[in-house]
């Protein structure tokens, strides 16, 4: 419906204006003169309307009947389920001139809006003041997402669009190309005066020290000055045992002098003292304003692996007869390790130096295979069940995918580097073995003669790449869409399904992620179940017609309750939600929402809550350390293991640090994910801010995850009987890999804020 003129709903407007005036009055009276909160909060008061009409940009547009929307949650969760396309957001706010009083510079105003998924144009009182990304209607192939760019629009104080000491209207034209839409990160959104501090970017990163240096690690605080004059001030670093503790354990102070348009780095050395919180505060000299950050120290729980070999392959493996077979013995221990095996049916041979077993098995059946690993410190053996039949992917796939780090900038070189790093870091010894290329490998057009899909210049030779990976024991994954275009606007497989499946098989592909994306333009506007299933069934048939075992990863964000029929169309895994990102809201929102799906996970068929967001991520060449705190990262890995989720590392493996390695190389945690029986955990208990999930394991023991969803550390008591575990007594702390005692009836322990205790009871 187009907007009505102003006089349409005068009462509502008067009321809204009164509310705004009241808030402004309080603000002027108390807060701003004190130098506090001299900005307008934009985290509430928004309204939205799906559709697209230029009149929505105008200040005079009546939006009283628009739906209220929180910028802290995507629009799918607020009345627009699975909606992709255009939505307008509007916000009325009062802009007090004394906003400028607290600023040293007093020359411009900034609007902070946080990331917007995917494209936005921002209008103030009808005047366009900025845009991020490109809308599809800007021209052929124009669409470009800018979903992870924090929006910041700046205007000089005398800009005509600014209505000082009056009501203003901010209108956002937003387009979402797929997955969650709109604003949803829990970040600052406000209007405020630009000040000297706005020109300073402060980032804090921990850096593990080399083993040869002192114990502990350095925190590197990097300052970047975008101002044309030097900026000075001081940095205070304080260590606390927990957030909220009054007296710091340690305080360090450093002078800061950042050259004009330059950088400065300050290293603060901290001894390794387990888990603490570190507070970093920069005070800018001219304005006296401060900015701060908290960092939880990256505490390592996983014990270091010994020199003796230990085999970590899951207890079961499925393969089909008559197609190329590839399997690697995954064993930690001091190099060089030599490998052997016993019990394989004819058709395969082992490379004793790499542990790679390859060939073609002809005989169907179940075989007990013994794997051996030997080095100078000793040897290990493990018997696993090899099932040669129709089913593959009997435990959730584990490996690496390019998306969460490189986004569309993935290349052959980066894929090889990831594989090399999986090997050199030792992670491959724990069973991480898929190397999956996500979107961005495709050439713009098909081969003019044959119609075959081709690679772009970043991937000069796909068969050579798969050969490189296979020789090292890795499997190679690829990505496409049933639509004409992928989500990243690259070429999709529409109407070339069988041909593409054969091309990939010829290249040596072992895994396909098939992403709905532009298929929404092919499917009926309101697809019924058959319409959802159709493109996935077509591609599964095409994959089956090739001579390879190809794991089939369905990516359509849970539409049509895919968990009910994903197995029927041959999916080995299916995404259950929109895209994950490295925030607590995103990760915990996805992870904790999986409870109702537990009955759909089983060997060969897995719910997929999306890829891991630990390590250095970026969805582009600009990488940053995961924004999850260390405790949140323990929660992430523990929860995904409890969910029997596919584990696909999404970070730059060449930058792996001790903490991230500790998260990904804990064999007892991984064994919960890779358990032979493939059951997904169930939520058994829930309090106001905690959840207890339980997963039955194949040896009769139970894994229990006690999650603290609040920010504060807290003690949690569990009642074994209430959890249905009355017969279990011995409790093992899985991250620390040690038994922590016998608990007959209850277990009581501390759980860090946003953290977890992962236990196994026998
Ligand atoms: C979608 C998927 C992501 C990724 C991108 C690639 O957003 O959900 O995982 O594959 O497409 O464009």
Q: What is the DSSP string of 555-608?
A: ESTTTT-GGGTTTTTT-SEEE-SS---SSHHHHHHHHGGGGGGGGG-BTTBEEE
Whether 440 is in the pocket of ligand 1, judged by its Cβ within 6 Å, is no
Helix (H) or strand (E) holding 278: strand 277-284
Fold observed for domain 198-296: Immunoglobulin-like (2.60.40)
Tell me, using a 6 A CB cutoff, whether residue 556 lines ligand 1: no
Peptide bond into 324 cis (omega under 30): no
pLDDT grade, residue 11 (50/70/90)? Answer: very low
Say how many CA atoms lie within 13 Å of 655 toward its Cβ: 18
The band of 411, judged by pLDDT with boundaries at 50, 70 and 90, is: very high
3-state helix, strand, coil in the chain (%, to 5): 20, 35, 45
Cα separation, 633 vs 612, in Å, equals 9
Average pLDDT over residues 204-230: 80
Q: Cβ(89)–Cβ(171) under 8 Å?
A: yes
- Residues 534 and 568: their CA atoms lie apart, in Å, by 11
**pLDDT of the residue at 38:** 78
- Residues whose CB is less than 8 angstroms from the CB of residue 199 and which lie 6 or more positions away in sequence, other chains included: 225, 226, 227, 231
Q: Is the pLDDT score of 44 beyond 60?
A: yes
Distance 690 CA to ligand 1 centre (A): 31
Q: Ligand 1 pocket, 582 CB below 6 A?
A: no
Position of tokens 């032979």? 676
Residue 429 is a catalytic residue? no
The CATH homologous superfamily for domain 683-761 is Golgi alpha-mannosidase II (2.60.40.1180)
From CA 334, how far away is CA 376, in angstroms rounded?
8
CA distances to 267, 297, 624, 657 from 206, rounded to whole Å, are: 9, 8, 12, 10
Residue-level pLDDT at 8: 31
- Residue of 76, 84, 436, 438 to test ligand 1 pocket, by largest number of atoms within 8 Å of CB: 438
Nearest Cα neighbor of 324 from 358, 351, 350 is 358
- What is the structure's pLDDT at 497? 98
Q: Is 486 in the pocket of ligand 1 (CB under 6 A)?
A: yes
Question: What 3-state DSSP class applies to 550?
Answer: coil
Provide mean pLDDT across the span 387-391: 97
Query: Which of 148, 176, 403 to probe ligand 1 with, by most ligand atoms within 8 A of CB?
Result: 403
- Name the more confident of 205 and 420: 420
- Whether the CB of 645 sits within 6 Å of ligand 1: no
Assess if CATH 3.40.50.10190 describes domain 398-679: no
| Range 310-388 has CATH code 1.10.10.10 | no
Beta carbons within 10 angstroms of residue 52's beta carbon: 15
Predicted local confidence at residue 525, as pLDDT: 87
Report the alpha-carbon distance of residue 279 to residue 295 in Å, rounded. Answer: 7
Using the mean position of ligand 1's atoms as its centre, give its distance from the Cα of residue 546 in Å: 25
- Separation CA 739–CA 722 (nearest Å): 22
Tell me if 577 CB under 6 Å of ligand 1: no
Q: Kindly state the tokens that stand for 627.
A: 């924004």
- Enumerate the CATH 2.60.40.10 domain ranges in the chain, comma separated: 198-296, 310-388
- pLDDT for residue 272: 67
User: Is it the case that residue 20 has pLDDT exceeding 80?
Assistant: no
The pick from 515, 586, 590 for probing ligand 1's pocket by mutation, whose C-beta has the most ligand atoms within 8 angstroms, reads: 515
The alpha carbon torsion through 486, 489, 490, 492 (nearest 10 deg) reads: 30
Residue 56 pLDDT greater than 50, yes or no: yes
Task: Locate CATH 3.20.20.70 in the chain.
Answer: 398-679
The tokens for 762 are 């026998």
Centre of ligand 1 to C-alpha 515, Å, is 7
Angle at 715 between CA 712 and CA 720, to 5 degrees: 135
| Amino acid 335: pLDDT | 96
Buried b (16+ CB within 10 A) or exposed e, 83-117: bbebbbbbbbbbbbeebbebbbbeebbbbbbbbbb
pLDDT > 80? residue 127: yes
Best CA proximity match to 760, nearest among 90, 740, 495: 740
Q: Which atom of ligand 1 is nearest to the CA of 611?
A: 9
**Is ligand 1 within 6 A of the CB of residue 555?**
yes
The band of 215, judged by pLDDT with boundaries at 50, 70 and 90, is low
Q: Is 179 in the pocket of ligand 1 (CB under 6 A)?
A: yes
Nearest CA to ligand 1 atom 1: 487
CB 493, CB 500: distance < 8 Å: yes
Is the pLDDT reported for residue 37 higher than 90?
no
Q: What gap in Å lies between CA 759 and CA 762, rounded to an integer?
A: 10
Which residue's CA is minimally distant from atom 11 of ligand 1?
487
Average pLDDT, the chain: 93
Pair 485, 526: CB distance under 8 Å: no
Does 29 score more than 50 pLDDT? Answer: no
Report pLDDT for 325.
Answer: 98
**Contact 178 CB / ligand 1 (< 6 Å):** yes
pLDDT attached to residue 244: 87
pLDDT at position 7 is 31
Does residue 396 sit in helix, strand or coil? coil
Q: Structure pTM?
A: 0.87
Beta strands (DSSP E) in 602-713 are: 606-608, 616-617, 624-625, 647-649, 682-686, 690-696, 702-708
Q: How far is the CA of 402 from the centre of ligand 1 (A)?
A: 10
Share above pLDDT 90 across residues of the chain, in percent, rounded to a whole number:
85
- Nearest alpha-carbon partner for 651 in 664, 638, 641: 664
* Region 442-459 average pLDDT: 98
pLDDT score of 608:
98
Cα-to-centroid distance, 470 and ligand 1 (Å): 25
Instruction: Write out pLDDT tens, residues 553-592.
Output: 999 999 999 999 999 999 999 999 999 999 999 999 999 9
What's the whole-number mean pLDDT along residues 734-746? 92
515 is catalytic: yes
- Rounded Cα distance, 538 and 593, in Å: 30
Using alpha carbons, list the distances in angstroms from residue 622 to 249, 616, 625: 35, 10, 10
CB contact at 8 A, 582 and 619: no
| End-to-end CA, the chain | 62
User: In terms of DSSP H, where are the helices of 161-238?
Assistant: none
DSSP character for 144?
B
* CA gap 519, 493 in Å, rounded: 10
What does the alpha-carbon distance between residue 162 and residue 181 come to, in Å, rounded to a whole number?
28
Q: What is the mean pLDDT of residues 133-148?
A: 90
3-state secondary structure of 174: strand
Q: Which two tokens stand for residue 529?
A: 């179940």
Structure tokens at 64: 């009283």
In ligand 1, the atom with minimum distance to the C-alpha of 555 is 8
Helix (H), strand (E) at residue 513: strand 511-515
Distance 404 CA to ligand 1 centre (A): 9
Q: Which of 515, 608, 610, 675 is the catalytic position?
A: 515
**Three-state SS for 654?**
helix
Domain with CATH 2.60.40.1180 in the chain: 683-761
Superfamily covering domain 12-192:
Galactose-binding domain-like (2.60.120.260)
Give the whole-angstrom CA distance, residue 382 versus residue 310. 9
């Amino acid at each position: 419906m187009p907007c009505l003129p102003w006089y349409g709903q005068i009462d509502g407007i008067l009321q809204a204006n009164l509310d705004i005036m009241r808030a402004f009055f309080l603000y002027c009276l108390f807060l701003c003169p004190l130098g506090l909160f001299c900005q307008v909060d934009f985290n509430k008061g928004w309204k939205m309307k799906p559709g697209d009409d230029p009149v929505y940009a105008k200040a005079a547009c009546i939006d009283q009947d628009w739906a209220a929307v929180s910028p802290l949650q995507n629009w799918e969760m607020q009345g627009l389920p699975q909606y992709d396309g255009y939505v307008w957001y509007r916000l009325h706010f009062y802009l007090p001139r004394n906003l400028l009083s607290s600023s040293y510079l007093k020359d411009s105003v900034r609007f902070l809006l946080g990331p917007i998924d995917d494209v936005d144009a921002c209008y103030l009182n009808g005047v366009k003041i900025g845009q991020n990304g490109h809308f599809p209607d800007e021209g052929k192939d124009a669409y470009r997402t800018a979903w992870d760019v924090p929006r910041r629009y700046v205007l000089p104080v005398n800009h005509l669009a600014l209505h000082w000491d009056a009501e203003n209207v901010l209108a956002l034209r937003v387009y979402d190309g797929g997955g969650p839409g709109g604003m949803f990160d829990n970040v600052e959104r406000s209007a405020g005066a630009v000040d000297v501090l706005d020109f300073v970017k402060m980032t804090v990163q921990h850096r593990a020290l080399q083993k040869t240096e002192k114990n502990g690690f350095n925190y590197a605080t990097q300052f970047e000055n975008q101002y044309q004059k030097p900026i000075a001030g001081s940095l205070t670093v304080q260590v606390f045992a927990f957030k909220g503790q009054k007296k710091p354990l340690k305080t360090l102070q450093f002078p800061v002098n950042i050259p004009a348009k330059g950088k400065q780095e300050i290293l603060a050395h901290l001894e390794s003292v387990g888990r603490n919180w570190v507070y970093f505060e920069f005070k800018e000299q001219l304005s006296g304003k401060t900015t701060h950050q908290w960092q939880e120290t990256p505490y390592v729980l996983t014990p270091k692996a010994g020199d003796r070999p230990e085999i970590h392959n899951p207890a079961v493996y499925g393969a089909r007869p008559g197609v190329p077979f590839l399997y690697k013995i995954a064993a930690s221990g001091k190099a060089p390790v030599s490998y052997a095996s016993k019990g394989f049916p004819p058709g395969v041979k082992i490379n004793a130096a790499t542990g790679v077993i390859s060939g073609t098995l002809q005989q169907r059946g179940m075989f007990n295979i013994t794997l051996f690993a030997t080095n100078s410190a000793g040897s290990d053996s493990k018997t696993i069940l090899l099932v040669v039949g129709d089913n593959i992917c009997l435990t959730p796939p584990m490996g690496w995918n390019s998306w969460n780090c490189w986004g569309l900038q993935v290349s052959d070189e980066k894929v090889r580097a990831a594989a090399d790093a999986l090997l050199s870091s030792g992670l491959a010894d724990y069973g991480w073995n898929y190397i999956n290329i996500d979107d961005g490998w495709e050439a713009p057009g098909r081969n003019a003669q044959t119609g075959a899909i081709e690679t772009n210049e970043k991937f000069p030779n796909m068969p050579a790449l798969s050969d490189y990976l296979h020789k090292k024991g890795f499997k190679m994954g690829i990505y496409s869409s049933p639509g004409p275009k992928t989500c990243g606007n690259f070429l999709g497989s529409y109407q070339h399904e069988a041909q593409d499946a054969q091309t990939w098989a010829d290249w040596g592909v072992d895994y396909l992620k098939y992403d709905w994306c532009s298929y929404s333009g092919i499917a009926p506007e309101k697809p019924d179940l058959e319409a959802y299933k159709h493109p996935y069934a077509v591609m599964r048939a095409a994959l089956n017609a090739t001579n390879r075992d190809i794991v089939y990863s369905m990516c359509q964000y849970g539409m049509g309750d895919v968990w009910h029929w994903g197995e029927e169309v041959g999916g080995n895994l299916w995404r259950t939600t929109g895209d994950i990102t490295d925030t607590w809201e995103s990760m915990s929102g996805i992870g904790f929402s999986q409870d109702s799906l537990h009955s759909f996970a089983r060997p060969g068929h897995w719910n997929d809550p999306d890829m891991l967001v630990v390590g250095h991520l970026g969805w582009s060449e600009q990488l940053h350390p995961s924004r999850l705190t260390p405790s949140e990262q323990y929660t992430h890995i523990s929860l995904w293991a409890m969910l029997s989720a596919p584990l696909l590392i999404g970070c730059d493996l060449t930058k792996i640090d001790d903490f991230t390695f500790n998260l990904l190389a804990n064999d007892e945690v991984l064994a919960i994910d890779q358990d032979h029986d493939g059951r997904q955990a169930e939520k058994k208990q829930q309090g106001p801010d905690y959840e207890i999930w339980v997963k039955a394991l194949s040896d009769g023991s139970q894994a229990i995850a006690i999650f603290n969803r609040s920010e504060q550390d807290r003690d949690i008591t569990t009642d074994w009987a209430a959890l249905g575990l009355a017969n279990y007594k011995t409790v093992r702390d899985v991250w620390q890999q040690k038994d922590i005692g016998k608990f007959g009836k209850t277990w009581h322990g501390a759980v860090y804020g946003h953290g977890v205790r992962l236990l196994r009871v026998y």
